[in-house]
Amino acid sequence: MKLLKAIIRPNKVDEVKDALAKLNISGMTVTEVRGHGKQKGHTAVYRGKEYNVSLLPKMQIEVVVANTAADDAIRAIVEAARTGEIGDGRVFVLPVEGSYRIRTGEREV
């Protein structure tokens, strides 16, 4: 199993969710996060005064998929979240050793 951790633009969440749903991937965690990558924020101006926008609002989507489904899922996320502009985000892929269903205690494979 793989944990896919995608940091994306806030307005792309619905599209990513829909793309994953098409692959029958529905369980996910969505978190509001702030950060910056290469984008490093930018300078906004309000009333003639500049202020630095260093941490940008992003959404983080976490989803666990089977090893075999990982590539498709990554591709779906990347395609759905892409605008082509700087600040589109990242997908991280992490190995998952195991998972347990809390309600039943059973181990999932």
Which residues of this chain interact with another protein, rule CB under 8 A?
9-12, 14, 32-34, 44-49, 53, 57, 83, 85, 87
Nearest distance from residue 101's CB to another protein, in Å? Answer: 23
Smallest distance from another protein to CB 56, Å: 8
Q: Kindly tell me which of 3 and 39 has the beta carbon lying closer to another protein.
A: 39
Write out the chain in H/E/C secondary structure: CEEEEEEECHHHHHHHHHHHHHCCCCCCEEEEEEECCCCCCEEEEECCEEEEECCEEEEEEEEEECHHHHHHHHHHHHHHHCCCCCCCEEEEEEECCCEECCCCCCEEC
- Work out how close the CB of 28 gets to another protein at its nearest, in angstroms, rounded to a whole number: 16
Distance in Å, CB of 76 to another protein, minimum: 19
Nearest-angstrom CA–CA distance, 78 and 8:
9
Residue number with CB closer to another protein (45 or 109): 45
